[in-house]
Each structure stands twice: as structure tokens, then as C-alpha cells.
Structure 1
Amino acid sequence: MLRSVTRVSPSSRIHRVARFSTLNPLPATFLRGGTSKGVFINRAHLPTDPTQWPPIFLGLMGSPDPDHGRQLNGMGGGISSLSKICVVGPPSDEQRAQGIDAEYTFVQVGVRDASIDYSGNCGNLTSMAGVFALDEGICHRTPSPSTSTTSIRLFNTNTKKRIDTSFPVSISDDACVPHLDIPQVSMAGVSGKASRITLDFVFPAGARTGKLLPTGNPTDTITVSILNAQTHIPASLVDATNPGIFVAISDLKRILNVPETSEIDFGDPKSVQIVESIRQEGARLMGLDPTAQAQPKIAFLAPSTDTSTHDIVIHAFSMGVLHKAVPLTVALCLGVAANVQGANVMRQLPANTVAGRDGEGGNSQGMMLRIRHPSGVVEVKSAKVIRTGRRLMKGVVWW
């Protein structure tokens, strides 16, 4: 079925109307990547003009849902980590000459509002972009008797960065097929074991701003107005895989007048408002749009409570809400930041961990960093990480 859609954009009293037709239902695959789930779409099935995509994405996700925030009319799950789309397609001729196998665009879809955000990447769903590309025949691998794993070189259009992904494959009908149910590794926040998917964010620095340190400083002072008084907060503003703002949780407790031994109620409206004020001012310092909630993300750090199991504790926000785990690109950005001498991050690390850092940052080298988040521990090595994923559904989706 072809569906004609009228998109009205009231920029003033003049309404601009765009009409287009595309398949409805639309071929799609529903995949889990890391601690996120999303709808993957072959770019060939969408209008060639990306400005015509938003009504399709909103319809298939069930957004906006201002009254309930559950997205029951679509594939979304009511939280940012379940309201995601990846559009995957073949590389351009120039990209193919550089060895790129597939390119993809990550889309963060608003839950309660109609926002469509292309400003950043999603590391969790990136782990399945190569799998989807191979499944869809967007790229191919020639099987051989010795074939057990393959690597797909991806280009992310949001950040203009290359990511290499590797995963096991099996041979079926003379083709390489991603093999995702080998009990190789487990990850916090996901039950059971699955195949090892390795992500390597090649040259991750400057994903949005063009610089690892957008302000040129490893640590900046963010000034916000609280109760008509100016408050100063040290923060590391780092742009690697995605831009991130890192603040010591002790500084947030100081601002909120929370005792050092007490926990912060991150759902309290006052806490949410102050966190967003800090994030927006940090975005301005980084030269980014402070009204775009998807980027930069903000995270609060605390020293390890058990150095035998982890190096640092993190509470990260995504789209204004405390994340139940940690966005993968935030963890990767933190892994890079932990190698930057003078960064606010280092003051939250154990002394023996800091001593081993080489101060390079911005590349795929460095030591392993074990990050404790609300659902467990994730290990990153600068901008390299292990994920798992699973195929959930392949068919069509109505929008």
C-alpha cells in the first residue's frame, strides 16, 4: 500500500506543504543492540529526500504521546532507549573507495513530543548496524571454510565518523550469515549470554565539534543561576563518539544541599531542572544547541566504591531522564576522557588507575576502564567496547 502524507510546517502564517508517497506498511527489522532496541530500515525503502522522513518515523514509533508517554500506538517503548531508529544503506562511491561497507543514520525520536533528532549517534544500536547491513544484502562477505568472524566498516552520517564492527558468522547457502546466539559474553542490563560484537570507534574525537576538547580546556567552570545566585561547577566537556558533560556527583550534592552520605533523588523536579540548567550551559560552552536534548548528554561521576570490581561510578541522563544503565557513547566518551590529563574525570578515578593513564586520549588506545552504572558494570578501552545483540522481528511496520 502507498500512503500519501501531507506535512505542514507553520513557520508563520504561511504553511509549506510537502506531499510524498511511500510503502505503508514499511519493511523493517526490530533489533536489540546492547541495552537499546530499535527499528532498522533499509534506506532504499524510504523517500530519497530525508526531509520527508519525520512523519514516517513519528508514526511508526507512536509519537508524540504527550498525555501518557507510553507510545502504545507504535513500536516505541516510552523511554529514550526504546525510541530509536537506524536507517542503513550502501556507501557512496567516495566512501566505498575508502573501504566503507555501509553507512547509517541514527534517529532519536521524541516520546511525548514530535522531536526528530539526528545530532548524535547511538553506540548500542551501532552494534547491530553491520549485522543488519549483511542480513539485508547491503554489503556482502564471501564465505570460506575458515570463516568464523567478519568485520564491517561503517560510516555514521550523524557524526561523520567511521566505526568498525566485528561479529561471528556462519555459512548458509554459500553466504555469510551473522551468528548472534553463541554464548560467548554477557553484559550488564541484558539477561544471558550471546555472541561477542566488538565496536571500534576509529578516531572518535570531535564527533560533533571537530575537537576532543571543544573549549580547549580539560576542565571548565560552568556557571548557572540557582535561586537568583550564581553557582560555579567544575566540568569536563569532551567530544568523543558523542559530546558529553562530566560533573562530579559531589558538586551536584553541594548545589542541591544533599549530605555527602545521602543519595540524590534524580526524579525530583528541582534536581531535574538543575541538571538541565548545567547541561544547557555546558552545551553553550561547547558551541552546541542547548535546546537539543539528545546532545550533549550529561553524566555525574563518583569514585569507586569497590576498586576490585570497578574504577568509577556514573549516573547518566538521556533526553532529560536518568538512564537505567548508561548510554554506550557516554561510556565510550568517558573512556576517552579518562586518558586526558587534567580532566575533571581523573579526580574521580583511583590513584593506581590514574597512574597508568598515558594522557593521549582521542584514539583507540589506552587502558581498560570499568564503569559502574545503575544496572551493572561496562568495560571500555578508550573507544572500543564489547556488545551483544539479538534479532527480535523482521516484517513490516505500519506508520
Structure 2
Amino acid sequence: MLPLARYAQAGHGTMAQGRFLSNVANPLPATFLRGGTSKGIFLKRSDLPANPDEWTPIFRGIMGSPDPVYRRQLNGMGGGVSSLSKICVVGPPSGSAVNSDVDVEYTFVQVGIDDGELDLSGNCGNLSSMIGVFALDEGLCSPRLDGTGSLATVRSFNTNTSKVIDTTFPISSSHLADLDLPEVETAGVPGQASRIILQFVNPEGARTGKLLPTGSPSDDLQVSDARLSSIPTSLVDATNPTVFIAAEHLAKAIHAEPRGVSPDDLAQPDVVELVETIRQAGAVRMGLDPSAKAQPKIAILSTPAANDDADVVIHAFSMGVLHKAVPMTVGLCLGVAAGVEGTIAHAIAARARAQRGSAQDDSGLVRIRHPGGTVNVGAKFGEDGTVLNAQVVRTGRRLMKGVVWW
């Protein structure tokens, strides 16, 4: 038997789904990274088949999917929840990205836990924060240094959304990311780490081409459910398309008495089914495929308590499961939506600020409370109302570099 390192270099293939991928190493060179509140496998594009259709058996094997019975992905690197079943494929710019002043391009892949389906319909904000780190580690590009030489920026092109994302982070004297400085905390992650500034350039219309796909900041969405015939929504597409609904409107459908919506309510199977029905109806109105589980996302918004310094409270669903924090692209989309008059997010944020007698500061930051804590997201708008950028601070950590069997 070959030693592990030699085996990985030898390019051994395997039989998968009736197809022999003789040109793909098994085990495959890989890096395991945390970005924000997600973890995922990062792969170089050059180590994979040129045809993405051939990625399915590889990525299923890496993550341990499908796993419809136990949902733990014990045969792979996945962790049984959507935020831990992710892969990023990174390489040099190609196609239209070559002339876009970017350093690298990447494709994000959400791997289904139950069915093993690969969803490439959207992007992951949390793992996007580590694209630049991985690119420098692998020598895929050179950093863009600031005036002091202590901060580096890597500009990437996301193939899922055809959007440009900048990541800026501290670097060492060897021009590699220094992730261990005690600078900031990320809600849901223990301890402090280096500040990674994640900035989405011109984020509107990531999937639909429009910030407001229906042309309106608020729509009465027709729903095929016995509990409600329609519900007010805001359908917004920035960084990733998202269906926003207010907790008070959902409460009317699931409670006989008027009260708020709790996480326990949102975990009930019949409520999960209703939320998915609303999400699919929103997808149709946005011109998206309702059967695609990853896009659009859906989030329930509510007004913070009077003693809370947050502007809006969010409970988001990802791949049909209530998220333990908030998908970062949803948080960024919410930050943009809160700046658009007439949206549910704008109304809630305005109500929260009036409640505590404060106004939004000049930074444009929106403070979001989610099940894991709080996060500040920002959006800058042009004079014509276009979204110039959306940004958030994340942290990350290198977890493993080596090879992975699929």
C-alpha cells in the first residue's frame, strides 16, 4: 500500500455512480476552514474535473451525503447542519472574471444532507470571508497591501452570483493571513480573532438582476395553505435573494391567540412546512426555481425588546432548517433591506429606533439580533438608490490542511 502522501499524489480514482473518475485524486488535497459561523472544505479548481457535472460523487463523498436517516454525515466531513455542509472551489480568474480586476474566482456549493444534492444557486457570506486567506495560502494570487503593509485585500469573483467580493485582513511578514490577533468576536464563536472585513461590491440583483425583483418593497404574497391565503412580504435580492416576513403576520396563522413567534414555534414540523410554502411562493414571485432549497432564503423579522440595542431580530431558515445564527448573506441582505423605505425590515428598524429614542448613525450600520448573538452589517447607497456595497466583519480559523477521502 502507498503511504498517504504518495497515494494522494498518485491521482488514484474511484468508481462513483457508475463513472470512473480516473483523473481525480482520492484522497484529494483539501483545506478545512472556519469562516464566521460556518465551516467548509476548500478545494483548488485545478484538482477537480473540468466539468462540474462530475463533482457530485466527489462532493457527496467528502461530506458524507446523502444521509436521510441519521442526518449526521458521519461518513464525511459534514456536521449534520447546513452551515457545516459546504464546499468552496477556488482558482485563478477565468471567463468574464479575467477582465474584472479580480485576483481569484470561486464557486460555492451547498451539499444537501438528506439527498446529497449540490446547490450552486447562491453564495455563502461566512465562507466568502476565507476565500482570500485560502488563495494566499495556496499561492493562487498576491495580496493587495495597504499603505502600512499590515493589511491585505484579496478581490474575488463569485461564479454563483457573478458578484465581486473583497476580503481585507491582517497579514504576517511572509504575506500570509494572520488570523490569531485578539481583535474582534463573532457571535456564536468562542474567543477573539483577527478582523476580516468582508465587502460585497454592487451586491443588488445577485440572482434576479434587481434589488426588488417585483419592483415593490412590499408584496402581498398568495400562499396555498389552509391557515392563510396571503401574507405581506418583502422580496429582496442583495448578496443572496431573501423572502422577509414579519413574525406578527406569521403568528396570526399559527396561533389562535395573538402573541409572538418563539424558536420553539418555528421548530414545529407544521410551522416549518408553512414557512417552506411561503418561501416557495416567494421564489416564484422572484422568478426563481421554487424547488431549489438553498435559494431564496427566508427569514422572520420582529421588533426587539424595549431594552435591546438591536434594530431588528431575525430567525432565518437554511435548507428547511431553523438556523442557529444567521446565514451571513441573509444578514447582509437584511442590512440592505433595512435601508430601503417601504420594506418590512425598514419599518421594524425605524420602530425599534423610535422605541429607544435613537436614530441610525452615519455609518449606516444595522444591528441585527439572531439566536447566536448580534452582528452589525452595513450598506452604502448611491444618490440614485443603488446599493454601492454591503459589508460585515467576520473572523476565521484554519482547522486542517491535508487530504480528504471521497
Question: Normalising by the residue count of structure 2, what TM-score does the alignment of the two structures yield?
Answer: 0.89
Q: Following the alignment from structure 2 to structure 1, what is the Cα–Cα distance between the partners of residues 306 and 139?
A: 46
Q: 2:377 aligns with which of 371, 376, 380?
A: 380
Could you tell me how far 1:36 is from its partner in structure 2?
0.2
Q: What is the letter of the counterpart of residue 187 of structure 2?
A: A
User: Equivalent residue of 1:177, what SS?
Assistant: coil
Aligned residue identity for 1:239: D
Partner AA of 2:313 in structure 1 = V
Q: Would the aligned equivalents of 1:339 and 1:366 in 2 still touch at CA under 8 Å?
A: no
Match of 1:303 in 2: 303
In the other structure, the counterpart of 1:370 is 367
How far 1:19 sits from its partner (Å)? 5.0
Contact conserved, 1:279 with 1:297, CA < 8 A, in 2?
yes
Q: CA shift at 1:309, angstroms? A: 2.0
The one-letter amino acid of 2:316's match is A
Q: Cα deviation per residue 1:174-220 (whole Å; 9 max; x = unaligned)?
A: xx010000000001100000000001100000000000011111101
Task: Return the letter of the residue paired with 1:3.
Answer: G
In 2, Cα distance between equivalents of 1:262 and 1:143: 49
CA distance in 2, matches of 1:59, 1:212: 37
The aligned residue for residue 114 of structure 1 is 116
Greater share of residues in strand: 1
SS of residue paired to 2:374:
strand
Q: What is the DSSP-based 3-state SS (H/G/I as helix, E as strand, rest coil) of the residue aligned with 2:173?
A: strand
Distance between the aligned counterparts of 1:209 and 1:143, measured in 2?
34
Could you tell me whether the CA contact under 8 Å between 1:168 and 1:180 is conserved in 2? yes
Equivalent position SS for 1:244: strand
Q: For residues 39 and 78 of structure 1, what CA distance do their matches in structure 2 show? A: 14
CA distance in 1, matches of 2:102, 2:401: 25
CA distance in 1, matches of 2:72, 2:234: 34
Aligned counterpart, 2:4:
none
User: Structure 1 residues 260 and 352, CA, compared in 2 at 3 Å: closer, same or farther?
Assistant: closer
Structure 1: unaligned runs, 5 residues or longer: 9-16, 359-364
Q: RMSD between aligned alpha carbons?
A: 2.1
Partners of 2:260 and 2:352 in 1: CA distance: 27
Match of residue 246 from structure 2: 248
Tell me how many residue pairs correspond in the alignment.
Answer: 381
In 2 relative to 1, CA 316–258 (structure 1 residues): closer, same or farther, beyond 3 Å?
farther
Which segment is superposed worse, 320-329 or 18-27? 18-27
SS at match of 2:172: strand
Specify the SS of the correspondent of 2:330: helix
CA apart distance, 1:259:
3.6
Distance in 1 (alpha carbons) for counterparts of 2:220 and 2:335: 21
Letter paired with 1:248: A
Could you tell me whether the CA contact under 8 Å between 1:39 and 1:85 is conserved in 2? Answer: yes
Could you report, residue by residue, the CA deviation over 1:128-184 in whole angstroms, capped at 9, with x for unpaired residues? Answer: 011000100000238899411100001000000000110000113xxx010000000
For 2:46 and 2:65, locate their aligned partners in 1 and report how far apart those are by CA, in whole Å.
23
In the alignment, the residues of structure 1 paired with residue 329 and residue 239 of structure 2 have an alpha-carbon distance, to the nearest angstrom, of 6
Q: 1:25 to 1:19 in 2, by over 3 A?
A: closer
Q: C-alpha displacement at 1:44, in angstroms?
A: 0.9
C-alpha distance in 2 between matches for 1:156 and 1:386: 19
Residue of structure 2 equivalent to 1:64: 66
Structure 2 runs not aligned, ≥5 long: 1-6, 380-389
Residue pairs, 1:215-364, within 5 angstroms: 215-227=214-226, 231-257=229-255, 259-264=257-262, 265-306=265-306, 308-351=308-351, 353=353
Query: What amino acid does structure 2 have at the position aligned with 1:130?
Result: G
Partner Cα separation in structure 2 for residue 282 and residue 144 of structure 1: 42
> Which letter does structure 2 place at the counterpart of 1:368?
L
Cα separation, 1, equivalents of 2:169 and 2:215: 37
Q: Offset at 1:313?
A: 0.5
- Indicate if the aligned counterparts of 2:33 and 2:400 stay in contact, CA closer than 8 A: yes
Post-superposition CA distance 1:303-353 (Å, at most 9, x none): 121465211100000000000000000000000111111112222123474
The 3-state SS of whatever aligns with 2:13 is strand
1:232–1:357 CA distance, 2 compared to 1 (3 A):
farther
Structure 1 residue 43 and structure 2 residue 48: aligned?
no
